[in-house]
Structure 1
């Protein structure tokens, strides 16, 4: 076990002195030492529209599955530094960066990370990646989890694994108990058909006794990367009940975007990307972006640190964009203020901060000191637009702040 990573995760998640909550937070942090997100669940197109990435921009983001870092690189910024407390996420991000620079063509990149289920992926790794990967990441991927060599996940359907992949597998099991077949949804030709499928097939699942019972446990959403503090925020949006909030977010994922254009829906309902030639994919996996990704991949790096700790090493005014994902939902007031002190110190004039929240409200006013937050302006219109266009549909809201200097 990586003791340093465990200690950092415990500190990041710990919010409550209540014994029961404390035990849940400790369990959650231990789960985060392993692979949680094989794919990130924030829409990079929404991010890139809000960040307005330019060639002079130095960005810092939380990595998760690193689809965001890889996609931002296709826009050609000066640098993208990704941070993550999970050693597994760091190893995944470094594998993706190595692949972008060393695999021979887009077809190989798509096979490895788009399909992620072919026996020949082992040959791609041995020939193109193994000797270019750093020692720590190579040891991770060539080592064993309790039951298998980790690298073999890319032969068996990578997106079925990790904490999120297994959570989605459990969701499919419940759907089978309710006799729901998602193939009809994936074949839908119109959003009207998608809405009809949701109303007839998915919505009734939320009335099942088993679903109601499971949703009442604060640990039930650990597979979505939702710790106790964030669960409580979701429940607050539902008047104390998380189930109506989950129902609405599944409805948005199912209905608000054409199914052929929403790879998040494919991951949820098929546990893979759409295999069609014109399928929607994360920007870094799209053929038209391959040459840009290869050209700029050397501008990306990923480190095993918290965002606050990393920023303490950055010069004043050196960053133009910050991507916080939903990490602030995990933080207490002291952690929030420590983070925003470093963001404000390292931000150049006009810098942008984007983040998601489990609930619908912006969590910063009243918690971050006015002397800090007062130097930033909230972009209400862009935030509302980003919230509406985020195809992952898992969050309550998207938020954008501009630095006024």
Structure 2
């Protein structure tokens, strides 16, 4: 028999139990405040400005005028809408990275109908066709990788990501056809616009609010929401209880794509009245963070969408006030803020446990030793 001396580690990481809601809110709130303060100090160093002024610019960018407030709410709604599209797929553990492509295809169909004779002669019929067409093409675009996943077990992350590039190429082709002298730049389409409700932003907000309510009911109170959760936990369990896994995968991605198509419709028919390869503005990727921060809860996603829209709009104003033409610094700061906020989630789910000595004197020593007997 031989004795082996093993040093107990100074600390180890352990899974937390259920953290009280007020503590979780306190940790997240502290992370957000700390991230904003850190960003202000960093911007103050980089731009040579007083950090307090930087914070002032940040809030001025979102609350400075009535128009800025509307833009903040609209951007929040758009991010929320794309996040809602991703929630059912992500709950099913289908990593849909193709939101950008699905948005682009929805916008493309909308613009095509706006430019057609129907858009010029009968706006109501054009709007109905735009809605149906955008939802249909979005659903089809998302269902293609879903079919390959369901039947051939392909990697959905790579497949949906590649679909973004194909969608971008299709949009570029039509822009070259539609634009003057093949410049690839399409001006605003003058016909077939979606109706204006009070102002150019309210329709988008109303549509996304309705989608949020529908998605909450769908995920929490519908059989299909339960089925996709079961498929996400274990396909074998889903098959055992009689769930058609292939059908659930394809149906869920079709719903996800249809919602992205609606966002594309709103961008093209109500906001931009045009399209380009950057119309989606990478919302398909940003919305992943929206959904993740809210733990895939449609109602909590309102807050995470607002936070990200606040940071993006606010940093844009900071950049303007500091006369910085390059977006790199602003994007870097926003990325640092995201990193801090994501980091706080670690301390909500896990905790650091330090070694405990037999008494207060022992706990101050370098390590505690224990004897482990092992056979020769």
TM-score, reference length from structure 2: 0.23
User: Higher strand proportion, which one?
Assistant: 1
Return the TM-score normalized by structure 1.
0.22
Structure number having the greater helix percentage: 2
**Structure with larger RCO (C-alpha < 8 A, sep 6+):** 2
CA radius of gyration, larger in = 2
